[in-house]
Amino acid sequence: MLGHDLVSAFAEEDVVAPSSQHADLRDDKQVLLAARDARPDWIILSAAYTDVDGCEKDSAKAFAVNRDGAGNVARAAVQTGSRLAFLSTDYVFNGAKHSPYEIDDPRDPINIYGRSKAEAESMLLEITPDCCILRTSWLFGLGGKCFPDTMLRLAKSQRELRVVDDQHGCPTYTPDLANAIASLARKQARGIVHVTNRGSCSWFEFARETLAEVSPQTKVIPITAEEFPRPARRPAYSILSSRSLQSLGIELPDWRDALSRYLRQRGG
């Protein structure tokens, strides 16, 4: 989702968007060759192993892609004189806080995916201190698997959906995120920035809002995370503060506005 939207967001620039076949993050030689061929001003690292439960089951792959692969890209950026923007996650936090996470709050992930990203952050800041680390959360958009799409598909065959109501975060629409990343690159941003749509909700509230107009006959029932066990634990609270983004003169629309645009573009 995000990769396609990034290509659109950087339409005014020359963009090279290699696939994993051309630049497997785990292959340092492939990554360096791709970087040398392009010699870009910025490398936007949006590729990752993002299956949170899959990471829990295959930690070796998670660290190979998300941490070591990111390190390969950072070293390639240094060798080619490119700036690096790295997409990270709200899951670097443990979820025990009760107010939005700031950029300098300590990392304390509770699952393998979060650990792989947290360790990548630390590594990248050592390899290329002027990199820009963009933490985001709960991505949704066209062209890929996402929560609203799943809810809409399930609603076609189920009259009731049971959705977790005790985990809270910030839904983020990938076109809005991509435009923010482009703005940050043009501003030569560095350091850690939290980039999400404005506002927050639980998964239950996200589902209810998604189905309100499209499938109002579907009943959405709130449940606890304990009632819906998953291989990987999720933070109960992973809302990211927008203060760092606002300090750079950027603010994303409310997630409900973003969801409305997604539903119109999706056509359902």
Strand-pair partners of 222: 163
Task: Just list the catalytic residues.
Answer: 113
Say what the pLDDT of residue 21 is: 85
Q: How many CA atoms lie within 13 A of 118 on its CB side?
A: 18
Residue whose structure tokens are 């435009």: 179
Beta strands in 96-231 (DSSP E): 132-136, 139-140, 160-164, 168-169, 172-173, 191-194, 201-202, 219-223
Give CA–CA dist 112/91, Å, rounded: 9
Residue 210: which pLDDT band, with cuts at 50, 70 and 90? very high
**Helix or strand run (H / E) with residue 262:** helix 255-266
Summarised one tens digit per residue, pLDDT across range 83-136 is 999 999 999 999 999 999 999 999 999 999 999 999 999 999 999 999 999 999
- CATH assignment of 2-146+172-197+238-253, given 3.90.420.10, 3.30.365.10, 3.40.50.720, 1.10.150.120? 3.40.50.720
Domain residue spans in the chain? 2-146+172-197+238-253
pTM: 0.96
The stretches of 85-173 forming alpha helices (DSSP H) are 112-127, 147-155
Q: What gap in Å lies between CA 221 and CA 227, rounded to an integer? A: 12
When comparing pLDDT for 213 and 155, which is higher? 155
35-73 burial by CB neighbour count: b if 16+ within 10 A, else e? Answer: beebebebbbbbbbbbebeebbeeeebbbebbbbbbbbb
Tell me whether residue 23 is exposed, middle or buried, using C-beta atoms within 10 angstroms of its C-beta: 0 to 12, 13 to 18, 19 or more.
buried
What's the pLDDT band for 47 if we cut at 50, 70, 90?
very high
Mean pLDDT of the chain, nearest integer: 96
10 Å CB burial of residue 218 (0-12, 13-18, 19+) is buried
**Residues 33-55: what's their mean pLDDT?**
96
